[in-house]
């Protein structure tokens, strides 16, 4: 029996466990990436581990999220990360060099290798044939220190593409179609592996748009083969030597298959407020729009922005629309400048932003009240844009640009023949904004530069025998990390300061939560299904920890967030009977007696309500390793002991 691509990469990196679905496996990690919003914590944790130099083949620290410098905080964090990188053997991609996933795809990713990134869209590099997984900062820190990364062996779902996309339908429509079919929970516990004749017509950046948004399916990761198309891309990046062919065996076996005829797809959009709320443009109608934002790690490649510039050339953005464009990387930006496309964008009235995440993470361009914003991004959770009542639609650059001209949601197929954008034979590559680490002999003498906003992070204590705690919050299904630890220009500068950022914890759901949790001292949170979906931000565990949360009890968890909870010693519990969710009210006091022993010996777990006498059975599925981490009060304690 042959191997699929996922199994090939996993088997060549397996350091513990067996490739049996549902069992824990440990993987050797070749590369890591961090970005600045999760990076400061990750590097503080790396420092706490006491490892002098990273043990990976390549680790890169990107500055791309917190680049709006309205005070000293972000700039201080950049300096801190730069100094850690220099000392500890990490390449440092300076602000202005681009969004981590776009730059990593262009300059550093390698087929057949493993990559852990402290950002949930790390699977973007799957477009190159890497096994690239998003994780919390602490997991990234451990990987930098040479530790394995542990996952539950996922199912591998084959996405079999046939045919060819029609004019004005693009990679974004492929992934939106899959989101519509599978939902934001549909990828949980799965790797999506792409194959079939249809992939031959998709360039690496187009493939990367698709693997990028696999994160929105909750998938462990997504991967394309490394084939002739991959080689062409790497050659054009001046990196042909990084190519290895990686194809699924003819007799490879999959756990399921989804067939998609590319020619049958039409332009789609994800409606407010979820990436899987996908509809066709005719279903939505020609709604009037206020804003268009083009960019993000999903859709800001050379190909995407060239289409946009061709459509805008010689035209003017609709008077009621505000159009902003952020090229994904310095490479893309530079090429648009060199070939004149940038002049077409500027000439049409686009507001050109620097090569960063920008509006995608609420760092500027928040829409006006009730504003309708069309974005080529990957997340449209309520409030993420910085405007609570904004209506954000996720869609392709093709739909975005034509709508920016008409002032209403418009089907790009009305534009006639689509311009052909050839992939350049040679991309303009110049890594002058990537600082290499200091020589090992000099490293010890280098000082780390710490600003006053960098505060110590909370570390849990070992699991107690019994927990008495109050249900300080009850929330519903699909709670995102943007609810738990919101982003945006006001909050992001506090990412290195857990006491300060904790004041925003859960405030999109309940502004009084931080105060109530602090008063209770020992708290529980009750949630529905897919609790913690979205980002990899560890702050969604660190802030609750700081506020005294001992356990989260819900119907189901999203993968990265659950791991972040375990890594910080917060117990992730699920209801044995989902119906018990209804029975627990906010405000009641509950008891988890003998919890330490139950976790240690894998015994049934019950939570009691001493007042009513009711009790509910809970589950906490853990590997041997997970058990140790939780008992120790988190990964750092466990690594130290």
CB-side exposure of 468: number of CA atoms within 13 Å?
Answer: 3
537 binds, among ligand MIC, ligand SF4, none (CB under 5 to 8 A by kind): ligand MIC
End-to-end CA distance of the chain: 42
- Strands (E) located in 163-308: 190-195, 221-223, 256-261, 268-270, 278-280, 291-294
38 binds, among ligand MIC, ligand SF4, none (CB under 5 to 8 A by kind): ligand MIC
Q: What share of the chain is helix, strand, coil (3-state, %, to 5)?
A: 35, 20, 45
DSSP reduced 3-state for 194: strand
Options 217-225, 353-361, 493-501, 520-528: segment touching ligand SF4 (CB under 6 A):
353-361
Q: Which of 361, 394, 475, 599 binds ligand MIC (CB under 6 A)?
A: 361
Give Rg (Cα) of the chain: 24
Here the tokens at position 239 are 């990196």
Query: What string marks each residue from 38 to 77 as x (binds ligand MIC by CB under 6 A) or -?
Result: x--------------------------x------------
DSSP reduced 3-state for 574: strand
Q: How far is the CB of 74 from ligand SF4 (least distance, A)?
A: 14
Q: Is 119 in the site for ligand SF4 (CB under 6 A)?
A: yes
Q: Is 119 in the site for ligand MIC (CB under 6 A)?
A: yes
Q: How far is the CB of 362 from ligand MIC (least distance, A)?
A: 9
Contact 317/348 with Cβ under 8 angstroms? yes
Q: How far is the CB of 376 from ligand SF4 (least distance, A)?
A: 10
Cα separation, 7 vs 137, in Å, equals: 25
Q: Which of 121, 537, 539, 627 binds ligand SF4 (CB under 6 A)?
A: 121
Residue (377 or 504) nearer to ligand SF4, CB:
377
Q: Is 106 in the site for ligand SF4 (CB under 6 A)?
A: no
Q: How far is the CB of 196 from ligand MIC (least distance, A)?
A: 28
Query: What string marks each residue from 466 to 485 as x (binds ligand SF4 by CB under 6 A) or -?
Result: --------------------
Here the tokens at position 304 are 């995407």
615-619/571-575 β-pairing: antiparallel
Cα separation, 464 vs 28, in Å, equals: 33
Cα separation, 133 vs 151, in Å, equals: 10
Query: What string marks each residue from 288 to 317 as x (binds ligand SF4 by CB under 6 A) or -?
Result: --------xx--------------------
Residue (106 or 580) nearer to ligand SF4, CB:
106
Cα separation, 305 vs 444, in Å, equals: 44
Alpha carbon distances (Å) from 488 to 363, 364, 392, 576: 5, 8, 15, 36
Options 87-95, 116-124, 188-196, 422-430: segment touching ligand MIC (CB under 6 A):
116-124
Instruction: Return the DSSP state at 357.
Output: -
Q: Is 37 in the site for ligand MIC (CB under 6 A)?
A: yes
Shortest CA distance to 278 belongs to which of 297, 264, 288, 265?
265
Q: How far is the CB of 636 from ligand MIC (least distance, A)?
A: 20
Query: What string marks each residue from 128 to 147 as x (binds ligand MIC by CB under 6 A) or -?
Result: ------x-------------
Q: Which of 178, 348, 357, 629 binds ligand SF4 (CB under 6 A)?
A: 357
Q: How far is the CB of 448 from ligand MIC (least distance, A)?
A: 21
Options 2-10, 356-364, 496-504, 560-568: segment touching ligand SF4 (CB under 6 A):
356-364
Residues 517-556 that bind ligand MIC (CB under 6 A): 534-537
300 binds, among ligand MIC, ligand SF4, none (CB under 5 to 8 A by kind): none
Cα separation, 640 vs 637, in Å, equals: 5
Number of residues that bind ligand SF4 (CB under 6 A): 11
Q: How far is the CB of 154 from ligand SF4 (least distance, A)?
A: 22
Residue (179 or 631) nearer to ligand MIC, CB:
179
Contact 526/553 with Cβ under 8 angstroms? yes
Which contiguous run of DSSP H or E holds residue 640? helix 635-640
Could you give the maximum distance between any two Cα atoms of the chain, in Å? 73
- Bridge partner residues of 93 (DSSP): 62, 434
Query: What string marks each residue from 62 to 81 as x (binds ligand SF4 by CB under 6 A) or -?
Result: ---x----------------
Q: Is 165 in the site for ligand SF4 (CB under 6 A)?
A: no
- Bridge partner residues of 134 (DSSP): 117
Q: Is 360 in the site for ligand SF4 (CB under 6 A)?
A: yes
Contact 331/423 with Cβ under 8 angstroms? no
**Which residues contribute to the site for ligand MIC (CB under 6 A)?**
37-38, 65, 119-121, 134, 361, 379, 487, 534-537
**Which residues contribute to the site for ligand SF4 (CB under 6 A)?**
65, 99, 119, 121, 296-297, 357, 360-361, 377-378
């Amino acid at each position: 029996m042959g191997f699929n691509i996922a199994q090939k990469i996993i088997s060549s990196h397996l350091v513990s466990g067996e490739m049996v679905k549902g069992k824990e496996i440990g993987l050797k990690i070749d590369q890591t990436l961090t970005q600045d919003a999760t990076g400061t914590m990750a590097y503080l944790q790396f420092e706490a581990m006491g490892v002098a130099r990273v043990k990976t083949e390549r680790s890169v620290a990107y500055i791309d999220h917190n680049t709006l410098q309205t005070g000293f905080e972000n700039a201080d964090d950049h300096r801190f990360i730069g100094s850690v990188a220099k000392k500890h053997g990490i390449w440092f991609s300076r602000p202005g060099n681009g969004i981590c996933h776009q730059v990593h795809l262009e300059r550093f990713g390698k087929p057949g290798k493993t990559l852990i990134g402290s950002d949930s869209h790390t699977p973007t590099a799957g477009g190159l044939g890497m096994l690239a997984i998003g994780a919390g900062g602490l997991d990234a820190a451990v990987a930098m220190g040479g530790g394995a990364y542990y996952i539950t062996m996922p199912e591998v779902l084959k996405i079999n593409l046939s045919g060819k996309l029609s004019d004005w339908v693009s990679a974004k429509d492929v992934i939106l179609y899959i989101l519509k079919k599978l939902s934001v929970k549909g990828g949980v516990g799965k790797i999506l592996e792409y194959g079939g004749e249809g992939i031959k017509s998709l360039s690496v950046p187009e493939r990367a748009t698709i693997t990028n948004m696999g994160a929105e399916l909750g998938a462990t990761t997504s991967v394309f083969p490394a084939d002739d198309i991959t080689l062409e891309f790497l050659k054009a990046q001046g990196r042909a030597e990084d190519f290895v062919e990686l194809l699924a065996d003819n007799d490879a076996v999959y756990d399921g298959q989804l067939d998609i005829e590319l020619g049958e797809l039409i332009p789609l959009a994800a409606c407010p407020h979820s990436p899987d709320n996908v509809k066709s443009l005719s279903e939505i109608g020609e709604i009037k729009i206020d804003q268009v934002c083009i960019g993000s790690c999903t859709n800001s490649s050379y190909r995407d922005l060239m289409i946009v510039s061709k459509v805008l050339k010689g035209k003017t953005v609709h008077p009621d629309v505000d159009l902003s464009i952020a090229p994904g990387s310095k490479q893309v930006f530079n090429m648009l400048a060199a070939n004149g496309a940038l002049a077409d964008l500027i000439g049409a009235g686009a507001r050109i932003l620097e090569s960063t995440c920008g509006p995608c993470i609420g760092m500027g361009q928040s829409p006006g009240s009730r504003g309708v914003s069309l974005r080529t991004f990957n997340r449209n959770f309520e409030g993420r844009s910085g405007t609570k009542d904004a209506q954000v639609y996720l869609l392709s650059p093709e739909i975005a640009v034509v709508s920016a001209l008409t002032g209403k949601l418009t089907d790009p197929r009305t534009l006639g023949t689509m311009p052909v954008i050839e992939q350049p034979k040679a991309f303009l590559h110049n890594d002058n904004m990537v600082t290499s680490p200091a020589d090992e002999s000099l490293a010890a003498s280098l000082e780390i530069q710490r600003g006053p906003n960098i505060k110590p992070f909370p570390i849990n204590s070992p699991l107690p025998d019994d927990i008495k705690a109050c249900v300080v919050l009850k929330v519903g299904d699909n709670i995102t990390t943007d609810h738990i630890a919101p982003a945006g220009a006001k909050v992001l500068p506090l990412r290195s300061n857990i006491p300060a950022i904790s004041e925003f914890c859960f405030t999109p759901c309940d502004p009084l939560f931080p105060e109530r949790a602090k008063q209770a001292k020992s708290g529980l949170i009750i949630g529905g299904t897919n609790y913690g979906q979205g980002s990899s931000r560890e702050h969604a565990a660190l802030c609750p920890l700081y506020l005294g949360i001992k356990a989260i009890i819900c119907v189901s968890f999203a993968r990265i967030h659950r791991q972040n909870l375990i890594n910080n010693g917060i117990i992730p519990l699920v209801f044995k009977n989902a119906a018990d969710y209804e029975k627990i009210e906010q405000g009641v006091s509950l008891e988890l007696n003998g919890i330490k022993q139950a976790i240690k010996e894998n015994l049934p777990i019950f939570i009691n309500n001493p007042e009513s006498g009711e009790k509910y059975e809970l589950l906490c599925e853990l590997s041997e390793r997970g058990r140790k981490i939780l008992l120790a009060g988190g990964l750092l304690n466990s690594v130290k002991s």
